[in-house]
Homo-oligomer: A and B are copies of this chain.
Amino acid sequence: MNFPSNIFNSHSKEDGDFFLGMTRILGFKPKKLAVYKKAFLHRSANIRDEDGTPMNYERLEFLGDSMLGTIISKYLYTEVPTGDEGYLTKMRSKIVSREHLNELGKELNLIHYVESRIPKSHFGDNIHGNVYEALVGAIYLDRGYKYCEKFIHKSVIVPYVDIEQLEGKVISYKSLLIEWCQKQKKSFYYDIYEDTGNDAVKHFAVKLHINKKIVSKARATSKKKAEEIASKRAYYALQNKIDKE
Tell me which of A51, A84, A140 has the highest count of chain B C-beta atoms within 10 A of its own C-beta. A84
Q: In whole angstroms, what is the CA distance A70 to B64 when docked?
A: 9
Which A residues, 66 to 105, have Cβ-Cβ distances below 8 Å to chain B?
66-67, 69-70, 73-74, 77, 81-85, 88-89
Contact: A53 with B66, CB < 8 Å? Answer: no
- Check if A151 is an interface residue, CB within 8 A of chain B: no
State A62–B88 Cα separation when bound (angstroms).
8
Q: Does A115 make an interface contact (CB < 8 A)? A: no
Tell me if A82 and B51 are in contact (CB < 8 A): yes
Shortest Cβ distance from A144 into B: residue = B145
Chain B residues closer than 8 Å to A144, beta-carbon distance = 145
* Inter-chain contacts of A51 with B (CB < 8 A): 82
Contact of A74 with B69 in the complex, beta carbons under 8 Å: no
Are A70 and B66 interface neighbours, CB within 8 A?
yes
List B contacts of A85 (CB < 8 A). 58-59, 61-62
- Give the CA-CA distance A84 to B140 in the complex, in Å: 18
Find chain B residues with CB under 8 A from A83 CB. Answer: 59
Which of B58, B61, B70 has a CB less than 8 Å from the CB of A69? Answer: B70
Q: Is the interface of A mostly helix, strand, loop or mixed?
A: helix
Contact call A59/B88, Cβ cutoff below 8 A: yes
Residues of chain B within 8 A (CB-CB) of A137 are 77
Instruction: Encode A228-240 as 1/0 by CB contact (under 8 A) with B.
Output: 0000000000000
A77 to chain B, nearest CB (A): 5
Check if A166 is an interface residue, CB within 8 A of chain B.
no
A59, B84: Cβ atoms closer than 8 Å: yes
- Report whether A73 and B82 are in contact in the complex, using a CB–CB cutoff of 8 Å: no
A112 to chain B, nearest CB (A): 23
Nearest residue (CB) in B for A57 is: B85
10 contacts between A and B (CB under 8 A): A58-B85, A62-B77, A63-B77, A66-B66, A66-B73, A69-B70, A70-B70, A74-B140, A77-B137, A145-B145
Besides A59-B83, A62-B88, A67-B73, 17 new A-B residue pairs in contact (Cβ under 8 A), listed by A number:
A53-B81, A58-B84, A59-B84, A59-B85, A62-B85, A62-B89, A63-B73, A63-B77, A66-B69, A66-B70, A69-B69, A69-B70, A70-B70, A74-B140, A77-B141, A145-B145, A145-B146
